[in-house]
Structure 1
Amino acid sequence: MSNTELSYAKGEPVKPLIEETIGADLENTVARFGDRTALVDVPSGRRWTYTEFGADVNRLAKGLLAVGLEKGDRMGIWSPNYPEWTLLQYATAKVGVVLVNVNPAYRTHEFDYVVEQSGMRMIAAAVEYKSSKYRQMVEQTLAKRPSLERAFYIGDASWDELLAGGESISDEQLHERSDSLDPHDPINIQYTSGTTGFPKGATLSHRNILNNGFFVGEGLTYTEKDIVCIPMPFYHCFGMVMGNLACTSHGACMVIPGPTFDPVAALTAVEQEHCTSLYGVPTMFIAELGLPNFADFDLSSLRTGIMSGSPCPVEAMKKVIDRMGMAEVVICYGMTETSPVSTITRADDDMRRRTETVGRAMPHVEIQILDPVTGERVPRGTTGEFCTRGYSVMKGYWNAPERTAEAIDADGWMHTGDLAVMDEDGYCAIVGRMKDMVIRGGENIYPREIEEFLYTHPAIADVSVVGVPDEKYGEELMAWIITVPGHEALTAEDLDEFSAGRLAHYKVPRYVHCVDSFPMTVTGKIRKVDMRDEAVRLLGLQR
């Protein structure tokens, strides 16, 4: 069969790849659009033109040099969406320091692992936000991980000291470091859980994420006149790549509506700043549309945006177009390991393709769908594993060559573990997952990590975690538990109490089912598919 009959496609290279570092690209944008607004933090009212933004990035970058960070060193960022997060994203890129994104919902259990696995030398963190006492958790880890040398807290005297220290660094010293960098250098580590064990650090280069952000912006036809509302967390590629890098590579404006998502804050930001684009996972758009005073917001400036992160309901998509005025909204599909976007719909696609598919291959990106058993390309219209190859594929998992080899084959194809179908025109639909992953409200959760943690409970002899359908979040977690003899059955409240301050809230199982044994195969493997079926029956849920 020819490639037009088999499930293979390559995105049209409408423009060449950017062969520069993130810092160099930002300098080009500052030179071209210096007077235009670069960043707005709505809660604090702070605003930066591109000239001001570039100057503050350089000031922070000099501070990083002054504290002794070398090219290739790792520095963490643990914070909700503050402007300092964005400044640090570009400052670390300017000096070749690998930024390690730490999920703001993490607790000590997860943070300690990330510090050790990444070899993090320093950390920038919020002091606290809501129930997250970041300073307290960081100090606990500092006390037992001498490899973590220093911490700087946003809005604290330590942050001011970091900036002041940069005054000892000259422009020439900063340029010397920036000029020594290569677009292929690693610049970002994002932790994404594996099907077994703890999270893996997807390692991304300047070239990976700068180009992906740029071509997402191209798909949205961004120019320097666009104003983009970004309620997505920056620790995700959705926020820092599809949001920030898409903007800075086009001279567009980044708008932070709040530290975390709030539907009122998002729509207020759109109205106040006259945003032309709005991002979100489907549940965010549904929450915005469901506001009692939705009609009171002036959203007439909106023309486009991205709905992504989990399957996009047809009715929600139609309402976003009709009621929010986002006639050119697109859907993107990808994964952290691919920077993230592999496919994207087009604004002129018909409604069926904009709601039932995840679009076609991104420019310069190859995609194929393989038979999971034979590894051969399947005919179009046939289900198989979605694989992708090109500039967007990560450099690998940090310090995990074996796990990298499991994901990226010898020919450079990233095996996503997602099941997909490609139609005759190259449009893909995601129909399932090979990996045992749960997606709760856009968060990827891998049961093995949670099981490892729950095994430490003194009353748990064995545990198996599965995903069950949920109307609000798409999926929720259920823990099947075999208790230690003599212990009473555990409840969801018991797990809440045990996990408090140690495990991110979205990873704590909502449901608990205590049993004497698990359904097993003849070879002794747990049959999670049977568990899910039984869970649906027990809870009276709809698939």
Structure 2
Amino acid sequence: MQDGFVPWPPDFAERYRRAGHWTGVSLPQRVADRAERHPDRTAAVDMRRRVTYGELLDEADRIASGLLELGVRGQDRVVLHLPNVIEFLTTMIALFRIGAIPVMALPGHRRDEIRHLVRASDAVAYVGPDRLQGFDHRKLAREVRADAPGLRHIVIAGEAEEHTPLSELAGSEPRDLPMADASEVALLLLSGGTTGAPKLIPRTHDDYAYNMLACARATGFDENGVYLAANPVPHNAALGCPGVLGALLVGGKAVLAANPSPGLVFPLIGKEGVTLTSLVPAMALLWAEEALANPVDMTGMTIQVGSSKFGPTAAERVSKNLGCRIMNVFGTGEGLITHTRLDDPREVVFGTEGKPLSPDDEIRIVDAADNAVAPGATGELLTRGPYTIRGYFAAPEANRRAFTADGFYRTGDLARMTADGNIVIEGRLKDIIHRLGEKVSAEEVEGHVLTHPLVRDAAVVGIPDEERDERIRVFVVLAAGADGAAAPLSLRAIREHIRHRGLALYKLPDDLVVVSDFPRTPVGKIDKRLLREGQPR
């Protein structure tokens, strides 16, 4: 078992094996089994090419052989920073094949985030594109490696310059590959990052396979299904709920869109016969609005909507305009998924986040003292189960805060349970902003804003916004003498300042409010509730 990984206690692991949740079959073995059975069936499609299962596995095995030639070995961590392209799938499967662990960086991440991921995971390699949307990832990789001597290899998809071309690895001669152990960590997802930079979520082959296969069953997704990855594939929803990887495990087809814009994905839905996709509420509403002007047939589709609250009014509008089935979902990268069922009545689908995915999901709703609240009352949602981790990767201090002594994960979300067992998410304790499908740590953005010479103090909050899910609003108290600066502090100046510090573009503030001081709680903390309600000093 890898260092830094917190395993399930042996009695729980045995229980999950007896229940059939964990089967001991690794993720690459499942994909290989599908390729052996149906080598000529289409496995994946992106904006440039399509591959069969046989071609997908062959490319993955060649990349795996090339990685071994480079010196990448089992349990090594590799930051995977590719967009929605087939190379993401083949590289990920290649890492699985040799027992290396991909760290799922998001396409929008920049130097600051990648440097953190490399250091936190002790990564030996980075795999990224040459340029994406005008940004040069080769330059990013050089800058990160200068600060991380343990980063021995940089692999680039496209024009690699002095780095190793991914195409060179894909041209390697296949060699005998080691067999992955299903109980070992398969990949590292990223947490929402409630206390600054994201934590690493270790998912094993066994638990993540169960996560994907249970989601496939819940959505009726099988070998005839077509999953559209409209959102970035490193996200848990687009990757494994069931996502593109789940589609491959059951023998379906994965369609990778470059972005979720209706102009791009609406034609794909008809052309590829899409049956399932996952969206954030803001994008679901955009699709619904676009469908009024440009109708698209989604009557055979199910859309999983999650990441932030999807209220009854929005759900009704999306269902009516798109003509699809809606599945309201609450999920965490750490594990727990609750969802409405395909045969649930409208009031359940539009008004709740449904029931837990697994019969062995254990749920507690507790008050501030960890006492169970009264039935129907609101409290913090705690959980443990066969696909919910027991600890973050190599993060003992975070684990003491995030997990109870008996292994329950503290989600930080406020919830209540209805009389018929459905979960309703009422808000969150954690200071996370949901913006355009991404989770942004308020504390992380605050830390960057505070480095501006004209800023004395800063507070960042999320403000509801139908187009973005939430806007990022930054409140600042000016430093002494700032009034005499050559130019007043502006939103543009703040955005440019933290962009040059290497922060991802999706984390840049949407609004700036200058205040004389912040409202405070009785213990002296900034009262962000009042800031959200528009009551700054």
TM-score (normalised: structure 1):
0.89
- Report matched runs for 1:512-523 at 5 Å: 512-523=512-523
CA separation of 1:411 and 1:283: change in aligned 2, threshold 3 A: same
Per the alignment, residue 541 of structure 1 pairs with none
Q: Which amino acid aligns with 2:148?
A: R
The answer as to 2:153 corresponding to 1:150 is yes
Per the alignment, residue 534 of structure 2 pairs with 534
Per the alignment, residue 117 of structure 1 pairs with 120
Per the alignment, residue 169 of structure 2 pairs with 162
Deviation at 1:195, TM superposition (A): 2.9
Query: Is contact 1:407-1:414 (8 Å) kept?
Result: yes
Deviation at 1:395, TM superposition (A): 4.8
Per the alignment, residue 142 of structure 2 pairs with 139
SS in 2 for 1:465: strand
Deviation at 1:293, TM superposition (A): 7.0
Per the alignment, residue 10 of structure 2 pairs with none
Query: Is contact 2:296-2:322 (8 Å) kept?
Result: no
Q: Deviation per CA, 1:36-60, whole angstroms, max 9, x where unpaired?
A: 211111x21x112222222222122
* Inter-partner Cα distance in structure 2 for 1:15 and 1:397: 25
Deviation at 1:14, TM superposition (A): 9.1
The answer as to 2:70 corresponding to 1:71 is no
Q: Which amino acid aligns with 2:255?
A: V
Per the alignment, residue 324 of structure 2 pairs with 326
Q: Deviation per CA, 1:200-229, whole angstroms, max 9, x where unpaired?
A: 112221122221111110101112111111
CA separation of 1:273 and 1:193: change in aligned 2, threshold 3 A: closer
SS in 2 for 1:34: coil
Query: Is contact 2:340-2:354 (8 Å) kept?
Result: yes
CA separation of 1:482 and 1:423: change in aligned 2, threshold 3 A: same
Query: Is contact 1:105-1:132 (8 Å) kept?
Result: no
Per the alignment, residue 6 of structure 1 pairs with none
CA separation of 1:14 and 1:267: change in aligned 2, threshold 3 A: farther
* Inter-partner Cα distance in structure 2 for 1:485 and 1:29: 65
Per the alignment, residue 490 of structure 1 pairs with 489
Query: Is contact 2:367-2:373 (8 Å) kept?
Result: no
SS in 2 for 1:211: helix
* Inter-partner Cα distance in structure 2 for 1:433 and 1:293: 34
Query: Is contact 2:284-2:318 (8 Å) kept?
Result: yes
Q: Deviation per CA, 1:116-164, whole angstroms, max 9, x where unpaired?
A: 1211111110111114221121122223322111211112351122223
* Inter-partner Cα distance in structure 2 for 1:318 and 1:482: 42
CA separation of 1:292 and 1:279: change in aligned 2, threshold 3 A: closer
**Identity among equivalent pairs (%):** 28
Per the alignment, residue 58 of structure 1 pairs with 61
Per the alignment, residue 415 of structure 1 pairs with 410
Deviation at 1:292, TM superposition (A): 6.5
Query: Is contact 2:22-2:207 (8 Å) kept?
Result: no
Query: Is contact 1:267-1:299 (8 Å) kept?
Result: no
SS in 2 for 1:467: strand
CA separation of 1:363 and 1:521: change in aligned 2, threshold 3 A: closer
SS in 2 for 1:530: helix
CA separation of 1:100 and 1:395: change in aligned 2, threshold 3 A: farther
* Inter-partner Cα distance in structure 2 for 1:222 and 1:470: 32
Query: Is contact 1:364-1:390 (8 Å) kept?
Result: no
Per the alignment, residue 358 of structure 1 pairs with 353
Q: Deviation per CA, 1:373-429, whole angstroms, max 9, x where unpaired?
A: 232323331111111211211252222112122212222211101111111221111
TM-score (normalised: structure 2):
0.90
Deviation at 1:319, TM superposition (A): 4.5
Query: Is contact 2:390-2:408 (8 Å) kept?
Result: no
Deviation at 1:79, TM superposition (A): 2.4
1:29 to 31, 34, 45: 34
Gaps of 5+ in 2: 1-15
Deviation at 1:522, TM superposition (A): 4.1
Per the alignment, residue 8 of structure 2 pairs with none
Per the alignment, residue 282 of structure 2 pairs with 283
* Inter-partner Cα distance in structure 1 for 2:30 and 2:183: 14
Q: Which amino acid aligns with 2:509?
A: P
The answer as to 2:248 corresponding to 1:241 is no
The answer as to 2:296 corresponding to 1:297 is yes
SS in 1 for 2:358: coil
* Inter-partner Cα distance in structure 2 for 1:56 and 1:91: 8
Q: Which amino acid aligns with 2:86?
A: P
Q: Higher relative contact order at CA 8 Å, sep ≥6: structure 1 or structure 2?
A: 1
* Inter-partner Cα distance in structure 2 for 1:437 and 1:469: 13
* Inter-partner Cα distance in structure 2 for 1:322 and 1:198: 39
* Inter-partner Cα distance in structure 2 for 1:280 and 1:471: 14
Query: Is contact 2:361-2:386 (8 Å) kept?
Result: no
Gaps of 5+ in 1: 1-10, 539-543
Q: Deviation per CA, 1:4-44, whole angstroms, max 9, x where unpaired?
A: xxxxxxx9x99644331101111222233333211111x21
Per the alignment, residue 402 of structure 1 pairs with 397
Per the alignment, residue 264 of structure 1 pairs with 263
Query: Is contact 2:223-2:252 (8 Å) kept?
Result: yes
Query: Is contact 2:455-2:479 (8 Å) kept?
Result: yes
